[in-house]
Amino acid sequence: MTTYVIGDLQGCFEPLESLLSQIDFDPRQDRLWFAGDVINRGPDSLACLDFVKNASEQGHARMVLGNHDFHLLAAYAGLTRYQSKTDTLSDILNHPNVQDYVNWLRQQPLLIHEQSAVMVHAGIPPQWNLDQAKTYAAEIETALQRPDWDTFVMALFDKKGQQWSDNLTGMARQRYIVNAFVRMRYCDAQGALDFANKSAPQHPVPEADATTDSAPWFAFKQRQTRNWPIFFGHWSTLGAMDAFNVHATDTGCLWGGKLTAYALETHQRHTVRCPQAAQPKRSRS
């Protein structure tokens, strides 16, 4: 049995099929973990979501929610403000079974912890230990599963939430939690999110400490989750990286890079080359 962590699909279905055939994926014994952003921007969002949903219902796959997956929930809930010309969600939104897709998606977690490995879409801020991260993820998962989830999602997108404090309550707290799990790249040692920093990360990424203003979330010396291997996607300009006990799996399939499957048991990376499905904008997400 092999468990493969698969990086951001973003609606690229053909590369997924090539990758599964390359790794000889056998649903009778292998498992797929999708790192989120399975949809949007690429040509086949519906096929990707359908595949992940079916594989999950048959017990072969799990996924965590990414920012683009949240974006679909928000679009369905009626939020129009953040819709973009480059969105490719209309096949899902106009599908007769859109409600099934949406209801399935809002049952998906923000964090998976299984077989001593952890997976999130963007990251876990340095000030949280794993138990805290799991508690905060569960807070959001519970809210998404409530009947009034749509009001919750609309309110999430209402304002920015970039600072964490243990005393935060209500939507400010939940906004920070979601931003950290699904959008974070750079932050400071206290976990204040820095969305203004659009720079490509240095290679190798230097270690950061309490005096560093802005660094990749995983690079802080005092990061509380450093003893757990963490798998994440979301950062295509970081590319394949195995350092700081974290494993970056978004290798830019959408942009003509590669799609990655990282085998948990053998620590091997498998990749396929992808045709370029979208033109990068100034800031990639």
Residues that bind Mn ion (CB under 5 A): 37, 66-67, 234
Whichever of 30 and 175 has its CB closer to Mn ion, that residue is: 175
Alpha helix segments (H runs only) across 58-207: 67-77, 90-93, 98-105, 130-145, 149-156, 170-182
Q: How far is the CB of 194 from Mn ion (least distance, A)?
A: 16
DSSP β-ladder status, 246-248 and 241-243: antiparallel
Q: How far is the CB of 169 from Mn ion (least distance, A)?
A: 27
Measured CA to CA, the distance from residue 245 to residue 229 in angstroms comes to 5
Q: How far is the CB of 222 from Mn ion (least distance, A)?
A: 26
Q: How far is the CB of 66 from Mn ion (least distance, A)?
A: 4
Whichever of 223 and 234 has its CB closer to Mn ion, that residue is: 234
Q: How far is the CB of 52 from Mn ion (least distance, A)?
A: 15
DSSP β-ladder status, 111-114 and 117-120: antiparallel
Whichever of 32 and 182 has its CB closer to Mn ion, that residue is: 182
268 C-beta neighbours (distance < 10 Å), count: 12
Q: Which SS3 state, helix, strand or coil, does residue 227 take? A: coil
Q: Which SS3 state, helix, strand or coil, does residue 164 take? A: coil
Measured CA to CA, the distance from residue 231 to residue 120 in angstroms comes to 6
Measured CA to CA, the distance from residue 45 to residue 268 in angstroms comes to 27
Measured CA to CA, the distance from residue 248 to residue 45 in angstroms comes to 22
Q: How far is the CB of 182 from Mn ion (least distance, A)?
A: 7
- 183 neighbors 268 (Cβ within 8 angstroms): no
Measured CA to CA, the distance from residue 262 to residue 236 in angstroms comes to 15
Selection from 41, 78, 4 nearest residue 249 by Cα: 4
Whichever of 66 and 239 has its CB closer to Mn ion, that residue is: 66
Measured CA to CA, the distance from residue 92 to residue 103 in angstroms comes to 12
Whichever of 121 and 134 has its CB closer to Mn ion, that residue is: 121
Tell me the residue number closest to Mn ion, measured at CB.
234
Whichever of 67 and 179 has its CB closer to Mn ion, that residue is: 67
Whichever of 66 and 123 has its CB closer to Mn ion, that residue is: 66
Whichever of 197 and 212 has its CB closer to Mn ion, that residue is: 197
Peptide bond into 147 cis (omega under 30): no
